[in-house]
Amino acid sequence: MKVSGEALMGDQSYGIDMNTAERIAEEVGAAVKAGYEMCLVIGGGNIFRGLQAAAKGMDRAAADYMGMLATVMNALAMQTALERRGVQTRVQSAIPMTTVCEPYIRRRAVRHMEKGRVVIFAAGTGNPFFTTDTAAALRAAEMGCDALFKGTQVDGVYSADPKKDPNAERYDQLDYLDVIARDLKVMDASAVTLMRDNQIPIVVFDIQKTNGLADVLDGRGVCTVVGP
Ligand code: UDP
């Protein structure tokens, strides 16, 4: 599941709202208890966005590394919230920082998941000029995930921003190519392409709704499935 930095902000305009992190942890914990193997990729936009800093004149690669470091902070917050609920976790960072968390080692991450631990992937792909959406797609492919869940602030993909346009229409199902060709704001194009190449569905749902994840996993929830 991809959890954007924005989702961790709650009602704040910046940073981590621990109550929101706790609520998301509750949902993840419930899914694990129900028997799902879960791993998370955490964004960093609530703390730092490389592109915005670069627009103000900062070197893009340096700004992106700062963005990746922000995702590590979020990952540690999420780990704390999950472990408070008795969910076993491991944070693995694409940028090694071995005194803080494990480095990303694919086979080790697979093993953690087999043991029922939630692996939280931090530092995106470890490369500048990428996003955590692409990191989520990459990890989903590497870990052999059955689906990539994208938790957003709305309950699926719409023809326009539903918060601005009352006539915006929600889609139940979309083809990967529709999303790319119509530039629908689901995930960035490289993430969608990677999911298409690997035939992994992307499930877009409202992460702010109580039991949102459980409902979608049960097939009762409102969401958009981007798939073949
Ligand atoms: N980032 C990066 N490479 C990656 C993932 C992230 O350089 O593989 C940087 C990039 O600067 C980005 C920031 O980390 O702006 C935070 O990630 P993102 O914007 O994807 O977070 P989200 O929007 O999900 O909160």
Q: How far is the CA of 189 from the centre of ligand 1 (A)?
A: 14
Q: Is 133 annotated as a binding residue?
A: no
The torsion of the CA quartet 200, 201, 206, 210, rounded to 10 degrees, works out to -80
Query: Poorest-confidence range of 4-13, 81-90, 105-114, 197-206?
Result: 4-13
Q: Is 92 annotated as a binding residue?
A: no
pLDDT at 185 over 90: no
For residue 214, the enclosing domain spans 2-227
CA distances from 210 to 25, 219, 224 (A): 12, 15, 18
Cα separation, 192 vs 224, whole angstroms: 14
Q: Please check whether residue 174 is in contact with residue 181, taking contact to mean a CB–CB distance below 8 angstroms.
A: no
Which is the closest atom of ligand 1 to the Cα of 53? 11
pTM over 0.95: yes
Contacts of 74 (CB under 8 A, 6+ apart): 3, 5, 8, 16, 42, 43, 44, 46, 47, 122
Number of domains, the chain: 1
In the structure, which protein residues have their CB atom closer than 6 angstroms to any atom of ligand 1? 4-6, 43-45, 49-51, 63-64, 67-68, 70-71, 124-125, 127-128, 130-133, 135
Q: How far is the CA of 209 from the centre of ligand 1 (A)?
A: 24
Q: Is 144 annotated as a binding residue?
A: no
CA distances from 6 to 49, 78, 85, 205 (A): 11, 13, 22, 14
pLDDT tens digits for range 50-84: 999 999 999 999 999 999 999 999 999 999 999 99
What's the CATH code of the domain at 184?
Answer: 3.40.1160.10
